[in-house]
Amino acid sequence: MSKEKLPYFLLRHREIPDLDNLEVYRRNGGFQAFEKAVTQMEPTAVTEVVKASGLRGRGGAGFPTGLKWSFIDNKNWPHYVVANADESEPGTFKDREIMEGNPYQFLEGVAICAYAVQANAAYIYLRGEFWDLAARLDQHIAALEAAGLLGENLFGTKYSLRIYTHLGAGAYICGEETALLESLEGKLGQPRLRPPFPPSYGLYGKPTIVNNVETLTNVPLIIEKGADWYRSMGTEKSPGVKIFSLSGCINKPGNYELPLGTTFRELIFEHGGGIPQGRNIKAIMAAGASSSLIVADERALDTPMDYESVPSVGAQLGSASVIVIDDSVSIPWLIDKTTHFFRHESCGKCTPCREGTFWMSHLTERIANGRARREDVELLYDVASQIRGKCLCALGEFSIEAVLSGIERFRSDFDVAVGEIQVAAQVEQVPASD
């Protein structure tokens, strides 16, 4: 892997000032890809290019984007595109930076996707907290309409497109694509049964493509520069660049746009400047609160961050929200944080997640606060195992990752917590709040 710094492709605003101005964006090649698609390409040809690029969904699941687009049901109309801007995974803050700094590239990606599946309406579902951001996106959309880049008969063709923003109101589960669609329909954000999947039964029961903000932001460059160019970056099975959100015990937290396959070591120690106060790295969570805890040994640090390699250290890349844990952090305290998060965010639809996250949070609270006994750790492990494989959606399934891996890989921290090993508490441990 070359260490040469690539130019920015997604966080281009870091190099080009005022990229959130339409004029500036257009001067830098903006909306040429969209125009090329609409005026020179068949919709399916657009999908083929994206398929060939190997772009995979950046929201966490890593599903091949072009393949998803090709699943759109052409026997049922109209079609919709929904951009998933519900960015809510603890440790993830990349979509917000894209939409703030480089909004037009994202909107162009939405537009190209909509053209590829022949949708005439696209919605951007933003988490409710992105209130200011939504207002700015509305202005950008208005600017696009004024410039004739959105609206009726685009570029003199028969193709028309409108983009609308829609604010959520504080529910992590709405990042799950079917819950998001329910929410957009004005209902409780609870996941639907799948199948059917959104490309055949989505918004208002119509074929719908739901893609993450970062995923869509890749699309204009792929159309402009071609699939081969995109495949020249990253790894064979995980081509392209990815934004890694780096947070936790780290000197330089922030977003880092790097090729997929960059190692944890490079991200944490070269780009992130290492661990504060000279402490030692203890664990890594690669996919936010939904992660397993990776024991940060030499092998793990040298593992490339791509969709295939991360499982070799017992975790998933997910949304690439890398939370760094140093040796001052007690793992029982940490999993108490994550279980409280999932308990708060469980939609309540399925039994194991609703009851299991609630039960786990009681156990982690007792363990973290030193009120537990050894059997509570066993019980916690049992309860987490009992949730596994039974939930309706990924939220419940991921709620146990940190718990199980924490107990399996950092057992001594639990022994300390239940008083079997006496060690002075080292870290600030404020009880988690609900």
Partner 1 sequence: MMAKMVSLTIDGKHVEVPEGTLVVNAAKKVGVDIPVFCYHPKMEPVGMCRMCLVEIGRPMIDRATGQPLREEDGSLKIQFGPKLETACTTPVSEGMVVLGATEKAKAGREDNLEFLQTSHPLDCLICDKGGECPLQNLTMGFGPGESRYLYDEKKHLAKHVPLGELIYLDRERCIQCGRCVRFQDLIAADPVIGFSQRGRSLQIVTYSEPGFDSYWSGNTTDICPVGALTTTDFRFRARPWELRAAASICNHCPVGCNLTLNVRREAVSGGKWVVKRVMPRQNEAVNEIWICDKGRLGYHFGRQNAERLKKPLVRKNGELQSATWEEALELVAERFQGVGSGLITLASGRLSNEDLFNLGKLTQSLGGRSLLYTSMAGGDLTTQIGFAPGTNFADMGKESAILVVGSDLEEEAPLWWLRVRQAAKRGATLIVLNARNTKLDRDAHYSLRFPFGMAAAAVLALVNALSPKRPELPESIQELARSNELKGAAKAFAEAKDAVILFGSDGMGLAETQALAQACANLLLTTDHFGRPNNGLLGVWPRANDQGAWELGWQPSMNLPADLAQAQALYIVAADPVSDDPAYLNAFDGQKFVVVQDLYLSQTARLADVVFPAQSWMEREGSYTSGERRVQRYYPALQPIAALPPRVESPGTRRAPLLTGLRAELDGPQADFAIPAYLAEKLGFEGFAHASASLVFARLAAETPSFSGLTYQKLAEVHEQWPIVGRADMYYGGTAYENTQGLGAQLALAQNGASLLSWPQAADFKLPKLGGIAFPITRLYDRGATLMHSQLLHKRIGEPYIVLGEQEANRLKISQGGFVRLTFTESQQSVVVQVKVDKNLPERVVLAPRSFGLPVSGPTPVELKSAG
Partner 2 sequence: MLAEKYAQEIQTILAKYPPDQRRSAVMPLLYLAQRDKMYVNREDMAEIAEILGITPTEVASIVGFYSLYYEEQKGKYHIQVCTDLPCALRGADRFMQELCARLNIRPGETTADGLITVEPVMCLAACDKAPMFQVQSGAGLSYYENQTVESALALIEQLRLDAARKRGRDSHV
Q: What is the CA radius of gyration of the chain?
A: 22
- Least separation in angstroms between CB 34 and partner 2: 22
Q: Does 197 bind partner 1 (CB under 8 A)?
A: no
Tokens 């007792």, located at residue = 366
Indicate which of partner 1, partner 2, none lies near residue 217 (CB less than 5 to 8 Å, by partner kind).
none
- Provide, rounded to whole angstroms, the least separation between the CB of residue 331 and partner 2: 12
Output the smallest distance, CB 90 to partner 2, in A.
4
- In whole angstroms, how far apart are CA 266 and each of 90, 234, 262, 309? 22, 14, 7, 15
Q: Which is nearer to partner 1, 209 or 400 (CB)?
A: 400
Indicate which of partner 2, partner 1, none lies near residue 359 (CB less than 5 to 8 Å, by partner kind). Answer: partner 1
| Residues 220, 107 contacting (CB under 8 angstroms) | no
- Is residue 27 a contact residue for partner 1 (CB under 8 A)? no
CA distance 431 to 418: 16
Nearer to partner 2, 91 or 101 (CB): 91
Q: Which residues contact 226 (CB under 8 A, 6 or more apart)?
A: 49, 53
Interaction partner, residue 209 (partner 1, partner 2, none; CB < 5-8 Å by kind): none
| Cα 213 to chain centroid, rounded | 9
The binding track of 154-173 with respect to partner 1, each residue x by CB under 8 A or -, is -----------------x-x
Which helix (H) or strand (E) covers residue 337, if one does? Answer: helix 331-345
CA distance 52 to 80: 23
- Does residue 356 interact with partner 1 by CB under 8 A? yes
Stretch that binds partner 1, among 215-223, 310-318, 338-346, 414-422 (CB under 8 A): 338-346
CA dihedral sign of residues 36, 163, 211, 43: negative
Question: Within 185-261, where are the H helices?
Answer: 213-225, 227-231
Q: In terms of CB distance, is 120 or 386 closer to partner 2?
A: 120
Question: Applying CB under 8 A, does 343 fall inside the site for partner 1?
Answer: yes
Site residue total, partner 1 (CB under 8 A):
28
Tell me the C-alpha distance between 14 and 2, whole Å: 21
Render the burial of 283-305: b for 16+ CB within 10 Å, e for the rest: bbbbbbbbbbbbbbeeebbebbb
Which helix (H) or strand (E) covers residue 210, if one does?
Answer: strand 208-212
Site string for partner 1, 375-414 (x = CB under 8 A): ----x--x---x--xxxx----------------------
Of these partners, partner 1, partner 2, none, which one is at the site of residue 392 (CB under 5 to 8 Å by kind)?
partner 1
Decide whether 197 or 269 has the Cβ nearer to partner 1: 197
User: Using CB under 8 A as the criterion, which residues of the chain lie in contact with partner 2 when the complex forms?
Assistant: 87-93, 95-96, 127-132, 135, 164, 166-172, 183-189, 204, 245-249, 253-255, 289, 321, 323, 325, 329, 334, 337-338, 341, 344-345, 347, 428, 430, 432-434
Among 29, 311, 348, 419, indicate the residue that binds partner 1 (CB under 8 A): 348
Q: What are phi and psi of 145, to 5 degrees?
A: -65, -40
Task: Tell me which residues touch partner 1 (CB under 8 A).
Answer: 171, 173, 188, 193, 343-352, 354-359, 362, 379, 382, 386, 389-392
